[in-house]
Structure 1
């Protein structure tokens, strides 16, 4: 019997597109983000959902809290779903990072690059995939929402599909989107990537 894993990227937050927020505890959802989070909560509440997990980061926890308020399910914080540890890059503006050759190397060769004083993409992939496999094994037959981050989801999808981490930027994972997996003792498969949810009031 399989578990259904719904990987949800947190909704839009105040630093999106301008700053590498990383694991900073700031970056609360913007007004657009709250609208998105409520829309995805309504959407997911129409189907089966048995459990909600979230990254420890504020923007993910706020998204998960809205889903919890809609479904009545409690939220469990899962450190394995945390954002990448970007080390000394955390909190820096993207415009500033563009002048750092290490940043360009990071984006060109994710399979071998490591953020300065931070985490490698391979490590992110390993912890996220291990958590998904362990959770699925202990909760077979359930549907679990995991609220996490763009590149964490990309790393998981790449791992399941057997893609190189160097190819992560070839597909999108938008804010408040859903990526679905089925996971069992036989392995895992990707059922959808980057499902968009219309923000209908």
Structure 2
């Protein structure tokens, strides 16, 4: 299965705000970013299209018009709990530092850990790859989900995943095949 992981476009939210699973709308640059994404995906026929249910992903999937969209909750971004829609600099530094040191296992208050996000994305990938072996699949989702899928494909530890740059309106391609997955490109 050829997974084309598409990160949503930039958002209509001030810089420095933690948004995670909050349903933030797209920015005024949406049409230009969508057009740039279409050129990156030119010529690819998709057998299936999946999207996170958050509007920044469903709007993009509809605008790209790559095929009939299937929404899946497992493709949501990391849930930051009480930190959602708070400026990052308003989170007490000592609390943030403890979480940042072990985000793989610790969760923000009333949120989820990166391991929880990883596990839900892994079940999605396994389920879809069983059904769509050898097919082209578009997944319109979030930076955290894309990092989790890369970690799974590369058998990487979760610590340090935020070193991977996944820009808004970027495409990452992974082929899931036996005996090992292949990464074609990241953040194109």
TM exceeding 0.5: yes
- Gaps (5+ residues) in structure 1? 196-201
Pairing of 1:44-123 with structure 2 (within 5 A): 44-68=41-65, 71=66, 73-97=67-91, 99-123=92-116
Runs of 4+ in 1 over 6 A off after TM superposition: none
The Cα offsets for residues 152-173 of structure 1, whole Å up to 9 and x where unpaired, read as 1112212221222111122200
CA contact (8 A) 1:137 1:185 kept: no
Q: Name the counterpart of 1:5.
A: 3
The 3 A distance-change label for structure 1 pair 16 and 152 is: farther
The 3 A distance-change label for structure 1 pair 24 and 111 is: closer
CA contact (8 A) 1:133 1:183 kept: no
Q: Distance in 1 between matches of 2:103 and 2:180?
A: 24
TM-score of the aligned structures, taking structure 2 as reference length: 0.91
C-alpha displacement of 1:185:
5.2
- Choose which of 13, 16, 19 in structure 2 pairs with 1:15: 13
Paired residue total? 188
2:166 is paired with a residue whose SS is coil
TM-score of the aligned structures, taking structure 1 as reference length: 0.86
Pairing of 1:52-201 with structure 2 (within 5 A): 52-68=49-65, 71=66, 73-97=67-91, 99-184=92-177, 186-195=179-188
Q: Name the counterpart of 1:39.
A: 36
Task: State the Cα RMSD in Å.
Answer: 1.7
- Gaps (5+ residues) in structure 2? none
- Choose which of 30, 35, 54 in structure 1 pairs with 2:27: 30
